[in-house]
A = this chain, B = another copy of it.
């Protein structure tokens, strides 16, 4: 959409002014668009704001930048080659959207060396080397819950700074590490709530986050 560059300029101005959030009204005034149009444009990119607050300036800048083609690839590694890890290793939705799975790691030496989805399973001891080799910045943890903390510590030591965690454990990590839990039971709890209420439900793609 041709309005994106205009939004981007307005957002960069707001950022320079130190504004953390902007309203659709604010963006509309700076770009000559209608506030409703701004909201719809952002919504069409999957960008969501907070009612009563507005849009997160830095986040929207980031999203528009990637939308304008500056999207680079983000290699990802998967730790844990059990059922789930294998399933994720050839999950199309990842590579097709700029997150190619570049390595598989396990602690079980009987799995090391196996060829899965075109990748050779490597041992956890080699983690640092693997991370450097593939230039991974993010990792997916798909191990049993009791190993989760140890794996997470190893990942951090190896230089990984973003973690997608399937173990439903509350990981204790340094503040500069970004973690997103993927917790199906919690998702189902939310669904059960809505079902009991018969009311509609959100898209679930919440935004940003909080502390660590």
> Which residues of A pack against B, CB within 8 Å?
1-2, 4-6, 8-9, 20-21, 29, 31-32, 46, 48-50, 53-56, 58-59, 62-63, 66-70, 74, 76, 82-84, 86-88, 90-94, 96-99, 137-138, 140, 145, 161-165, 167-168, 170, 175-198, 200-212
A108 to B78, CA, bound (A): 29
What's the number of copies of this chain in the assembled complex?
A: 2
Chain B residue at minimal CB-CB distance from A174: B200
A207 to B191, CA, bound (A): 10
Q: Which of B62, B93, B204, B211 makes the CB contact (< 8 A) with A20? A: B211
Q: Which of B84, B179, B210 makes the CB contact (< 8 A) with A208? A: B210
Beyond A83-B87, A97-B185, whether A48 also contacts B212 by CB under 8 A is: yes
Chain B residue at minimal CB-CB distance from A47: B212
A205 to B188, CA, bound (A): 12
Q: Which of B74, B138, B179 makes the CB contact (< 8 A) with A204? A: B179
Chain B residue at minimal CB-CB distance from A32: B210
